[in-house]
Each structure stands twice: as C-alpha cells, then as structure tokens.
Structure 1
Amino acid sequence: METIQRILNEFVLLGAAVAFLSTGLGAVPVMFKVRFSARLHDITMGICAGVMLGATFFSLILPAMDRFGNGSQLHGASLAVAGLLLGGALLHAFNRFIPHEHFFRGAEGQVSESLRRLWLFVFAIGIHNLPEGMAVGVGTGTGDEAISVPLMTGIGLQNIPEGMIVALALISEGFSAKTAILVTFATGLVESVGVFLGATAVGFSATMLPWGLSASAGAMLYIISSEMIPETQKNGFEHQATAGLMVGFAIMMLLDNAFVT
C-alpha cells in the first residue's frame, strides 16, 4: 500500500488527468466546424514541437544528468546519453516493425486488409501519445514539484492544439465530428495510461528514475524529429513553423524556471 501511495502521488494523478482532458479539449472546436489553414496548422505544430523539445531538455535530460552524476558531470552526461539513445532506438524499432500510419503521411509497413483505416490512425496516435504520457509519468513520479509542474503544464498546453489537429485530420478522412471527438479523447486516455506506466516503472526502483527520464527524452526527440518537424515543412511555411518552434521552446524554458525555488 505504501508503494502504491508513493507511485500514485498527487502529481502523477494530476498529470494523468491533464493528459486526458487537454487532448480531448482540443477536439471540442470541431463541433463548431472550426478549420485550420495550412499556415496556422504549421505554426501550431511548430509551437507544439518547441514545447516538447523544451520539455525534453529542461524536464527530462537535465534532471537525468543530475541524478546520474554522482559528483561527475561527465559521468552523468554519458549515462544520460546512453538512456536517450536507448529510448530513441526503442521507438524506432516500434515504428519500423509494427504496421501503422503517420499522422498525415499515410500508411507504413505491411498492413493487413482486416486493419481498418480508423484503427491504423488510432494506433499511430497511440504510438505518438504513449511515450509522451510515460515521460510525464516518469517526471511526476519523482514527486519533485520543480520537475512535475512544468512538465505536465507544457505537455498539457501542447496537447490542446495537437488534439485539435488530430480531430481535424480524422474529419478530413471522412469521419464524423462525434467520432473524431471520441477518438481524440481515447488518445488522451492512452497518454494517461502512459503516465501510470512511467510512474510505476520508476516507483519501484530509484535506480530506474534517471534511466526513465533519459529514455523518455530519447523517445520524445524521436517523435519531434520523425513526426512533428517534417509535418511543418511541407506546405511552404517553414519559416513561420520554425518561429513557432522557438516560441514553444521559450515558453517551456519560462515554465521550467518559474517553478525553480
């Protein structure tokens, strides 16, 4: 019971709620037939990528290095690099060997005819959201307010426009607004599951915490590079999207330092 209470601290529970609700909240505007222009889409995706990049650095990599350090910055950095590469490699393997669709770039892998397009899309979003949720779970599992609050705030902020983009993509594929909203909330639930998985993984062993932080950072970097940034570069608004990325990174930098005591 004590172990469960330690794992399910107030930050973990709040992080799971934020992950679920913020993703679903982003889908609500589709009820009112709101649509994104290509320019606004790319800027928004750029901001989301910037927030995730900032969260990766400030809320995952730096704390991992501190906990790995043992008095040596080089030792801490070396182990954090190993964890980061491990996280990226695991997500790469997952992407390569499991059939799925990217958010907007179509099918990948040998797709069985029995796998309907909707479920491929949902699975693709789950691949994207689960590592995000696990990163929040690992961060909030520390019980450290300086790590937990900026991380779940940043991820929550980027989940809102991301949820809207997902819902609009589903509608563009011919699904109803109701289906788009329900599926988007479901992807938020996947992220919440990731929160509990991440918190549980580090809750049973303090040794796992810096490895979890750095591996989560690697997984998020992989998502940013393979999914989000390429999506912002295909409509001719690369400069605006890059500006959005810098704004998102700056927002995360401010959030992280706002909770430093």
Structure 2
Amino acid sequence: MTTHSDPTTPSSLGSTLRKLLGAIIALGGLLVLAHGLTAALWDGQPHLREALIGGSMAAGATALGTLPVLFAQRLSDRMQDTLFGFGAGVMLAASGFSLVVPGLEAAKAQGAGPWAAGAVVGAAILLGAALLLAMERYLPHEHFIKGVEGSPKYSAMRVRRTWLFVFAIALHNLPEGLAIGVAYAGTDTLRASALATGISIQDIPEGLVVAVALVSIGYGRLTAVVLGIASGLVEPVAAVIGAAVIGFSAVLLPWGLGFAAGAMLFVVSHEIIPESHRKGHEVFATCGLMVGFVLMMLLDTALG
C-alpha cells in the first residue's frame, strides 16, 4: 500500500506552502497577462473584457475554496450537504432573477408579446437543459461522489479516472461561465456583476467540496487542490465564448439568457440537489438552499 506523508508536519507543510505560493504567483501572472492581452486586442469590445474578468473572478473563488483542504482534516457529510444546498440556492436565484427575467425583458424589447417572449425563453431553457443532458449521457465522466461511470476497468486506471473526474467538474462549471458571459453581453453591468459575484460566492464552498471529494477517493491533498483549481478555469473561457456569441446579434440575447438558465437548472436538479439529499441531511441542505437563494436575490435586486 502506498503511504503518503502527513501534510501537517513542518517539513511537508513548508514544501506545500512553497508549491502553493509558486502556483498562486504563476496563476496571478497568467491572469495579468490575459487581462493585458484582452485590453490590447478587444479595446472596442468591453463586454468581452468584462466577461473574462467576471469568469476569472469565479475561477479564483473556486481556487480559494480548495485551499483549506491543505490544512483541514475532514469536512463532515452534513457540512458538505449544506454547502451543496447553498450552491443550489444561489444558482436557482441566478437562473431566475439574472437570466430568465432579463431574457423575457429582452424578448419583449424586440417586439415579442408576453406569450411569444415566454415561448422563446422557455424553448431556450429546454435547449440548454437538453445540451447538458446529452453531454452528461454521452461524454464519459465521473460524478462528484457517486463513483466511476461505465466499465469497472476505469477504476484501475488512475490517470484516466482523474481526468474523468476533472471533466465532470468542468462540465458542472460550464453553465456558470456561460451565464456570466451572456449577462455581460446582454444586460447592464451592475446586473451582470451581481450574477458574477453570486456565482463566485457559491464557487468558494463548491471548490472546497470538490477538493474534499477528491481527497475522499484517494488523491493527495495538494493534487486535490491543483485539480480543483484546474476545474474552475473553464469558467473564464466559457464566459468569453458566451459574451462573443451574444455580441454577434441582439436577436440572440433572449435565447442566450434562457439557454444559460436551462443549463444551470439542469445541473441543480440533476446533480446538486440529489447529492445534497443522498446522505440523510435534507434539512441542512434545504436550509443552505434557502440562504443561498435569498443571498443571490438580494445581490441581484440591490446591485441590478
């Protein structure tokens, strides 16, 4: 059996902190470089810059959330489920107040009546959910806690199993990045900033839960942190893609907002809520959901 050194001993802790500091400096340098290139190349498209910054903020929050794993012994199942519920609440409120409502307003501003606006946004919601369903069904991946999907042979292939897990987390973060980008391209800056802030807040406990899950299935603490940080990098990429697509034509705005909302709703219903109720802590998960929902609602209504 392979043994691992205790990360809390002075020598290993010093090595971990040095590696962590190096990773933070490297990540910070990449973000500064990306921002400089964005400012130089996209001077006439500020919504792309804003989307990149908003997505990077969410990725940074995910990275921040993973760090306690280097020092904490274990996160209780009850706390994990409460944090899952909190994230679900934030995403539910963000879907409604920051995406669906602006989508309806955008459709009406383009001349659609109440029924037509509802039909457009409703169809977009279903399309977003359908795409996530297809990706979840046909792309091989590993769920957060439930174990490896597909053939049992995957369990013997550590590298492949790692990337299956990372892909699953990235798939989970994709709708959040798209939502940020679409919001910056199609709504006012304050409302988009409220959405990015809310997603970033829920990404902190989400990053912690992801890293804890990786440790619980046998990965080292530093490896879990690195993979958790990597999983959040899809958000700035998705944010820029979402902003660029919506920037092509205002006609796409209600469709883009509804699509992002549908993708987020699918993740909440298919992944987060079932996981938060799986271990008998439904009350704590529901309380977390209510707090997350109210917090995101206040951010949206106060800032947007």
Which TM class, normalised by the smaller chain length? Answer: over 0.9
**Same amino acid, percent of matched pairs:** 46
- Show CA shifts across 1:159-191 (max 9, x none): 000000001111112111111111111111111
Q: Which one has a bigger Cα radius of gyration?
A: 2
Amino acid in the other structure paired with 1:210:
P
- Given that 2:90 and 2:293 are in contact with CA atoms closer than 8 Å, whether structure 1 keeps it comes out as yes
Deviation at 1:34, TM superposition (A): 4.5
Deviation at 1:240, TM superposition (A): 1.6
Amino acid in the other structure paired with 1:222:
F
1:161 equivalent in structure 2: 205
Q: Please give the alpha-carbon distance, in whole angstroms, between the structure 2 residues aligned to 1:208 and 1:54.
A: 22
1:231 equivalent in structure 2: 275
Matched, 1:18 2:18: no
Q: Could you tell me the TM-score, scaled by structure 2's length?
A: 0.81
- Given that 1:65 and 1:210 are in contact with CA atoms closer than 8 Å, whether structure 2 keeps it comes out as yes
Matched, 1:75 2:108: no
- Show CA shifts across 1:23-66 (max 9, x none): 00000101112521111111111111000000000001001111
- Given that 1:9 and 1:143 are in contact with CA atoms closer than 8 Å, whether structure 2 keeps it comes out as no
Q: Please give the alpha-carbon distance, in whole angstroms, between the structure 1 residues aligned to 2:53 and 2:289.
A: 26
Q: Please give the alpha-carbon distance, in whole angstroms, between the structure 2 residues aligned to 1:57 and 1:164.
A: 26
User: Matches of residues 1-261 of structure 1 in structure 2 within 5 Å?
Assistant: 5-6=44-45, 8-69=47-108, 70=111, 72-109=113-150, 113=154, 116-142=160-186, 144-260=188-304
- Provide the alpha-carbon RMSD of the alignment: 1.9
After superposition, the Cα gap between the structure-2 partners of 1:105 and 1:74, relative to the gap in structure 1 and judged at 3 Å, is same
- Show CA shifts across 1:86-108 (max 9, x none): 10011101111111111111223
- Show CA shifts across 1:109-129 (max 9, x none): 458756621111001101111
2:37 equivalent in structure 1: none
Gaps of 5+ in 1: none
Q: Provide runs of 4+ in structure 1 moved above 6 Å.
A: 1-4
Amino acid in the other structure paired with 1:171:
V
Gaps of 5+ in 2: 1-39
- Given that 2:53 and 2:236 are in contact with CA atoms closer than 8 Å, whether structure 1 keeps it comes out as no
- Given that 2:47 and 2:184 are in contact with CA atoms closer than 8 Å, whether structure 1 keeps it comes out as no
